[in-house]
Structure 1
Amino acid sequence: MHQQAKNAQKLFYVFVFIYGLFANPSESITPEVEQLIRSWSPLIWLHSEERFLPSTVEFFLPEVTIQDEQSILVQDYVTPETLIGGENSSVLHMQTREPLDCPACYNLDVFFGQSINNGSVPVYTIYREYDDAFNTLDVSYFAFYPYNRGKDACVGVPVNGSCVGAEKNLGNHVGDWEHNALRFRNGQPYIFHLNVHSFGSYYLWNESTNNFHFFLGEEVRTAVDQDNEPVEIEERYEPKYPPTVELIGTHPVVYSANGSHGLWGSPGMAWTTWDNLIIIPWLPSNTSYEGNLNWLNFLGDWGNSAEGCEYEIVTGECELGSGPSGPRSKVDFPDPQPKTSFSLNF
């Protein structure tokens, strides 16, 4: 079974490359498509003890500047309309105006986000239509959090469930984009992607049981070598993905991990995302968004540069990791085949 999953994953990335040569996304939204997007937006259960809430982009950007790889100021007083973008922005990162007291400290008010009551925080929803044999529609639902809280880890010697030596809080980072995605075929759900940071899992729609069933999961574990290059290590992290993703009505129900916000399919505060969706058409990478969507053109890291990396060579994590990339860097599904093909490959 493990080998089958690995083979399926390899085929997935082959499809991403090949079918991308033929896809032709359409440019306008219809009432039917908008209804699908809203009807199937997720219900996100935030943890009952969650302190680091989501926010709007407008809430976060005034608290950061843009810096280059040498931490030289490139842009000050950032707004969604003025944030630098384009290919050259891929080497830049955001940096909080006020310094952190320590790499694992969260002493800035902006980190605690905004209340989700009354639809006050939007979910940024990017949709893409294809002119293929199945009238494919891909929808990605993005939530932004100003801060991701990491986990305590033993950097000493674990003995019988205890840690002999030091413990450190690792994996924190400023800025956190979490999302899930849904592919429709002929107006019906087909496959659901549950994103958990840099990995995730895929669930196929089962009409007879009215839920999504686990299809393929990713297992990821990397560290860095002495040249600061990522390498696989023997102790791989194998997430235990839930077997199904259930619905309330037509809304997939997902659960956000406390502090780190990774989206899992197995509650707390109910975030009814359909109360505030900002619906955004997909654009190819050589086309820029404008106006209050200009911020989508920023291709750098949405958070501070990494600090406190003394244990990274062992754990693969810093106390403060670098910020995540933004929505335009995410690819959840391979592009469908051209209209002349009726292959069932997703």
Structure 2
Amino acid sequence: MAMDPAGCVSVVGLLLAVSLAAGLARAVPELQCPDYVTTYAPLVWLHSDDPYMPSDILTHVQHTKPQLDGKPIPDVPALDLDNLDVLNDFGDQVALTSIHDPTTFPAWIFGKTPDEAGQVHNATPAVVVLVEKNELDLDAFYFYFYSYNEGPNITQVLEPLNRIVDGPEAQTGMHFGDHVGDWEHNMIRFQNGTPQGIYYSQHRDGKGYSWSDPAVSKKDERPYVYSGRGSHANYPEPGAQIHDQALIDWCDQGQIWDPVASAYFYRFNATTSELTHIAGPGESSPPSANLTSFLYFNGRWGDREYPVSDPRQKVIPRFGLRRFETGPSGPLTKHLLRKGLEPDEKRILTWVEWSAGVLMWWYPCCIRGWRKWVFLTLFIVLLTGIVLGVVHLVMRLRNKRRRTKQGVSIGLDDLNFEEEGLLESSDDEREERDLSDGEVGYI
């Protein structure tokens, strides 16, 4: 059967277009993620007892509604990853609020469990953002998304602070610091395609390590990341990890997760702050959808902190810790532009953190167990010595002032006596001279 010439032209044109699109990413390096970004990408060990797994970003958005000041925003279109930044028209206080009550633990909040190979199916819970510093240096940020963050409970507070944290909720094992939505990340700095160091985000802080640091374990040159149970904070080693002076994150080799196996890839222009959706390694063509809008969203990825009047909210006495906190901001707020591995601006500790840090510094050596009595005795002896020394010094100063005043008085009296003596001696001498003159005249 003969084909119409016009149809032949259409088919040929279509094939050329497909071929051109397939080769576009290979021809333009800026539209393709370099292979080394995934060759050295982190592998995440999720805690064996963590119920909150990596979550599909779009599914999370679809199970929330935007609110401002606790009220729904009217006339908002159906939101997805390609239009989420329309909410920026209402300012940066918009919160993606869960449609369901988080305390009922709806199914979507638990995310997707990776398979034995570490892959998450039917979900995209990771974002890779490339920041080129110059022709040789590149920072690759690996962002991990979870729909729920579970904070610590009383079993994760170090002594002696665990004896101070009280209240019926704390004693029943209630977790505090929970929030809907959770963004965590690692950053690997590359120089000419070779990794130089890695940064681990940990709650409000984090820590950077050189690539050769023995604390950073690897498999086939891919660094392991140990995710804290519930909190998803990232650490280079398993076990009990201390954060915020006196809280514990539990990490172990539960379930392996390969984030870059299902991720969105982007380039970030440091000059214009613009994002470009690029093809991942191994992909032959650039993405068909832009999907940068959700990264530009400058609001919160979870509910606002509930007021005390809300029955879901509980407060820990003394410290003011709350069961529910406000959800996090997005990836573009995580200091993408930095000089070193760690953010340039250091966070200022609150007075509660500072006080807890001082207590925890003294506690192991001077306050724990019998040591507190020895320390108290030494402190009393030292304080007594200081008081006695001050009293002795004050008494010496007073005596010195008293002697000084007495010395000045005696000096004036002596001076008067000396003047009187001089006058008397002068009179005597004058009388003696007169007497001598008289005797001479008489003779």
- What TM-score results when the alignment is normalised by the length of structure 1? 0.68
Counterpart position of 1:169: 175
Q: Check whether the contact 1:89–1:298 (CA below 8 A) recurs between aligned residues.
A: no
Show CA shifts across 1:45-67 (max 9, x none).
Answer: 00111211111111111100111
Cα distance in 1 for partners of 2:325, 2:161 equals 29
Counterpart position of 2:258: 272
Post-superposition offset of 1:124: 0.7
Cα distance in 2 for partners of 1:246, 1:91 equals 40
Structure 1 residues 87, 77: closer, same or farther in 2, change over 3 A?
Answer: closer
Q: Check whether the contact 1:125–1:277 (CA below 8 A) recurs between aligned residues.
A: yes
Cα distance in 2 for partners of 1:279, 1:291 equals 11
Unpaired runs of 5+ residues, structure 1, are 1-26, 207-211, 214-243, 337-346
**Equivalences for residues 9-24 of structure 1 within 5 A:** none
Counterpart position of 1:248: 219
Structure 1 residues 272, 315: closer, same or farther in 2, change over 3 A?
Answer: same
Counterpart position of 1:129: 132
Post-superposition offset of 1:131: 2.2
Post-superposition offset of 1:278: 2.0
- Counterpart of 1:169 in 2: which secondary structure? coil
Cα distance in 2 for partners of 1:87, 1:160 equals 44
Q: Check whether the contact 2:146–2:183 (CA below 8 A) recurs between aligned residues.
A: yes
Cα distance in 2 for partners of 1:127, 1:288 equals 9
Show CA shifts across 1:203-243 (max 9, x none).
Answer: 0122xxxxx35xxxxxxxxxxxxxxxxxxxxxxxxxxxxxx
Post-superposition offset of 1:310: 6.0
Cα distance in 2 for partners of 1:288, 1:313 equals 44
Counterpart position of 2:319: 315
- What TM-score results when the alignment is normalised by the length of structure 2? 0.54
**Equivalences for residues 1-346 of structure 1 within 5 A:** 28-29=29-30, 34-74=34-74, 75=76, 77-85=78-86, 86=88, 88-100=90-102, 105-117=103-115, 118-120=119-121, 121-122=123-124, 123-131=126-134, 135-153=136-154, 165-166=167-168, 167=170, 168-206=174-212, 212=213, 244-266=215-237, 267-283=253-269, 287=274, 291-307=290-306, 308=308, 311=315, 314-315=318-319, 317-331=321-335, 334-335=338-339
Show CA shifts across 1:62-107 (max 9, x none).
Answer: 100111134342536321122134475422111011234xxxx252
Q: Check whether the contact 1:182–1:193 (CA below 8 A) recurs between aligned residues.
A: yes
Cα distance in 2 for partners of 1:257, 1:91 equals 28
The number of equivalent residue pairs is: 265
Cα distance in 1 for partners of 2:92, 2:166 equals 41
Cα distance in 2 for partners of 1:265, 1:124 equals 20
Cα distance in 1 for partners of 2:297, 2:151 equals 25
Structure 1 residues 311, 53: closer, same or farther in 2, change over 3 A?
Answer: same
Identity of aligned residues (%): 24
Post-superposition offset of 1:311: 3.4
Cα distance in 2 for partners of 1:332, 1:286 equals 10
Cα distance in 2 for partners of 1:316, 1:28 equals 51
Q: Check whether the contact 2:267–2:275 (CA below 8 A) recurs between aligned residues.
A: no
Q: Check whether the contact 2:268–2:275 (CA below 8 A) recurs between aligned residues.
A: no
- Counterpart of 1:84 in 2: which secondary structure? helix
Cα distance in 2 for partners of 1:246, 1:171 equals 30
Structure 1 residues 288, 188: closer, same or farther in 2, change over 3 A?
Answer: closer
Cα distance in 1 for partners of 2:29, 2:339 equals 18
Q: Check whether the contact 1:152–1:169 (CA below 8 A) recurs between aligned residues.
A: yes
Cα distance in 1 for partners of 2:52, 2:152 equals 14
AA aligned to 2:180 is V
Structure possessing the higher radius of gyration over alpha carbons: 2
Structure 1 residues 143, 324: closer, same or farther in 2, change over 3 A?
Answer: same
Larger RCO (alpha carbons 8 Å, 6+ apart): 1
Structure with more of its chain in strand, by fraction? 1
- Counterpart of 2:292 in 1: which secondary structure? helix
Structure with more of its chain in helix, by fraction? 2
Q: Check whether the contact 2:137–2:192 (CA below 8 A) recurs between aligned residues.
A: yes
TM-align CA RMSD: 2.8
Q: Check whether the contact 1:184–1:190 (CA below 8 A) recurs between aligned residues.
A: yes
